[in-house]
Amino acid sequence: MTRNNRVTTYHHDGMSSYTMDPRGGSGGGSISGYLLHRVKPHLPPWLGVAGAGLAGALGHERWANSAGAGVGLTLASVALTGTTWWVGRTTGKQRRLHSAITVAAGSAWLTAACLAGPTTGPIDDVYLMGGPGVALSWNVRMAMRRNDTDGAGEGSDKGLLEKVGLARAQIGTAKVEPNRVTAPVALEPGEQTNDDVTKALARIASALDLPKSAVRYTPDPDSERRGDLVIVPEDMLSEVVEWEGPSNLGGSIAEPLVIGRYDDGAELVMWLPGDPETGRNSTHLLIAGGTGSGKGDTALNVLTEILSRRDAIVWFSDPKAFQDFAPLRAGLDWDAEGGTQTEVMVAGVEAAIPARTRWLGAHSYRQWVPEAAEVQNDPEHTCRSDGRACGCPGMPFLVAWFEEAANTLRNLGDDTFTGIAQEARSAGISLVVSLQRPSYDQMSTSTRASLPSVIALGCDPRDEGFSLPETVIDAGAHPGAWGNRRPGYCYVVSPGIDEDRYPSPGRTRRFTIRAVPVMERLAAWAQHNGAHADPVTAGAVSGVAGRAYTGRTTDTDDSAPQPTTLRAVEEEDDMNHGGLLVDPEDSGIDPEEELPDAEEGDDAPIFGQTTGRKPSPAEARQLFAQALEEFEDAGEMVVGPKDFMDWCDRNNLSRPWVSERLKEAAMAGRLEATNTTGRWRIIPALTAA
């Protein structure tokens, strides 16, 4: 801190301050000057001891063997001790005694040294041992006095609370941990409330010369006048930590996901599935942050943790074409880019919910637990009426992730989304949603309310109320103070985390180019060793999404040794490639072969017949049915008149004509209305009524 060319230094010992003049002056401004300045107050006792030694030697030269001098010196020493005692009557009792004893000891030694000689008998030993002892006793006294008057005892707390307008509040014994002080606060009964402390947080931070986020208050839920004031003086998050790999490869999704660390160094963890012990169901997560707040890297922290678990599958939609997530794409059970593909994915989630809930119920699970993902060999969890183990394949936890979800959610409508979110929680499904901007113009109040968990990164101060619950903001959380200047800094509110932690900032880890190969290996690991969609989930989703849901199919050759570490995956990947992720229907197709050009492919059967004449009504209907098949084969499961624009031109048919046919097809059970007017979902031919 530089003010008027002087440097002010604050000490941690007693919070005292002094100035050093960089141009010289008493301290000299140099390191030796600084040290001298620190040591100076402790020198006088030592100078006194040295002086007494010198006086003893000189006195002996002069008064050795003089009887008169002996009497004189003894009297002088007694008188000096008496004077000291008298002069010290106004100071503290201990100080008075300490002074008198020092003078008595010093003058008695001096008398003896003068008369008998400083090196005679034990006189020199007494000097060498007693001198430093006496000097040190004064140094100790001085150090203690500094702490008494300057330290953070009751007195200075009072001063602090007075300064911030909480004069009559009391601070109890503080718990001091490295870089974290927790002090219980008791307010004046009937006069002050916890709110008063919350409002004073910024002033407390100012009084302590700390950032606002370093001071938090956790009100006692049982009392309006008690709580804990938490002060974290040093920002341990300023150091950037790079992601090096998942925390628990092959663990269960029910174990904590480690996504970074808190400001006191503790691990930043969260859980997506519910907890049978507390009865809570799975949670849905909002990742909220402004541009440049580190949302992308935070999402990677969460996604890499999920993909590294043995019993979870991920459906992932990203309108940004997997810009950030490409290295992990192979590990996803279903990946969709924006638009129609996302619409189909939403329909897939909707279809999976009742199927999964039914399955869990049939196997006597009140909610998803890791055992539900195993083969059902336990008679406690059987779907057979005779009570014998059913041996059904297990059902992995499902994470449905929607990047940049504002449009998707808006199209879906509040009621639909709220319904999905509500029901998904007991179906072993977590929804994860990220937004370009955390604000109510991106997401409605009721949709926001259906996402119980949030990772709140830096944002515009006006959007804090959208990201975080009011109680957490009141307790001192301020993501608005970070904006995009502190990428990765976040508050995490999620069931399972101790609520006292909610207002503590954490930081996720950073992903650099070095992380790419590790992510690729992780994706390959997930392909080989991760879970695959169970028949119930896969069946339900295929019923609505058809080919658009490819699913993560297993390499069924179980005899092949399966790699269990990321490194092993890297080595085996080349060998196993080609056997994985291939739809049984597609086996035999060379994946390296160029795909036929989509336009041409579509044109061949339908559009190739452009003759310039209008087709007959019967021909037109047949062409239309073929077109729907083409869309289905291409996995484009949601269609509307605008998708038929070119087709109309080529076949001399009009868009209103197509609109009519779409409605007819819906009546016939070939299509189903979506939440968006004019958009229809194709019901896969196999399941069409």
Ligand X SMILES: Nc1ncnc2c1ncn2[C@@H]1O[C@H](COP(=O)(O)OP(=O)(O)OP(=O)(O)O)[C@@H](O)[C@H]1O
Q: Which residues are annotated as a binding site for ATP?
A: 289-296
CA gap 110, 382 in Å, rounded: 98
User: How many residues line the site for ligand X (CB under 6 A)?
Assistant: 15
Among 331, 488, 543, 546, binds ligand X (CB under 6 A): 488
Binding mask 494-533 for ligand X (x = CB under 6 A): -------------xxxx-----------------------
Tokens matching residue 318: 């990203």
Q: Taking the complex as a whole, how short is the minimal distance between the CB of residue 294 and ligand X, in angstroms?
A: 3
CA gap 627, 406 in Å, rounded: 31
Binding mask 317-346 for ligand X (x = CB under 6 A): ------------------------------
Q: Taking the complex as a whole, how short is the minimal distance between the CB of residue 292 and ligand X, in angstroms?
A: 5
Whether the CB-CB separation of 106 and 65 falls below 8 Å is answered with: no
Question: Of 218 and 508, which CB lies nearer to ligand X in the complex structure?
Answer: 508
CA gap 232, 501 in Å, rounded: 13
Question: Of 52 and 454, which CB lies nearer to ligand X in the complex structure?
Answer: 454
Report if residue 474 touches ligand X, rule: CB under 6 A: no
Binders of ligand X among residues 237 to 266 (CB under 6 A) are 240
Q: Are strands 429-434 and 17-20 parallel, antiparallel or unpaired?
A: unpaired
**What is the number of other CB atoms lying within 10 angstroms of the CB of residue 61?**
9
Question: Of 147 and 323, which CB lies nearer to ligand X in the complex structure?
Answer: 323
Question: Of 240 and 625, which CB lies nearer to ligand X in the complex structure?
Answer: 240
Half-sphere exposure for 317 (CA within 13 Å, toward CB) = 28
Question: Of 297 and 632, which CB lies nearer to ligand X in the complex structure?
Answer: 297
CA gap 319, 405 in Å, rounded: 9
Q: Taking the complex as a whole, how short is the minimal distance between the CB of residue 315 and ligand X, in angstroms?
A: 21
Binding site residues, as ranges? 289-296
Closest CA to 197 of 211, 209, 183, 210: 183
Among 246, 487, 505, 530, binds ligand X (CB under 6 A): 487
Tokens matching residue 152: 């953070």
Closest CA to 428 of 251, 275, 250: 275
Evaluate the CA torsion angle 317, 318, 322, 327 in order and state its sign: negative
Q: Taking the complex as a whole, how short is the minimal distance between the CB of residue 293 and ligand X, in angstroms?
A: 4
Phi/psi of residue 121, nearest 5 degrees: 50, -135
Question: Of 486 and 521, which CB lies nearer to ligand X in the complex structure?
Answer: 486
Residue in the block written with tokens 């109680």: 471
Phi/psi of residue 601, nearest 5 degrees: -55, -45
Q: Taking the complex as a whole, how short is the minimal distance between the CB of residue 414 and ligand X, in angstroms?
A: 25
Q: Taking the complex as a whole, how short is the minimal distance between the CB of residue 239 and ligand X, in angstroms?
A: 9
Q: Taking the complex as a whole, how short is the minimal distance between the CB of residue 504 and ligand X, in angstroms?
A: 16
Question: Of 507 and 670, which CB lies nearer to ligand X in the complex structure?
Answer: 507
Residues contacting 343, CB < 8 A, separation 6+: 408, 411, 637, 638, 674, 676, 679, 681
Question: Of 363 and 510, which CB lies nearer to ligand X in the complex structure?
Answer: 510
CA gap 396, 226 in Å, rounded: 45
Closest CA to 273 of 493, 495, 471: 495
Residue nearest to ligand X (CB): 488
Binders of ligand X among residues 278 to 307 (CB under 6 A) are 289, 291-297
Q: Taking the complex as a whole, how short is the minimal distance between the CB of residue 422 and ligand X, in angstroms?
A: 29
Residues near ligand X (CB under 6 A) are: 240, 289, 291-297, 487-488, 507-510
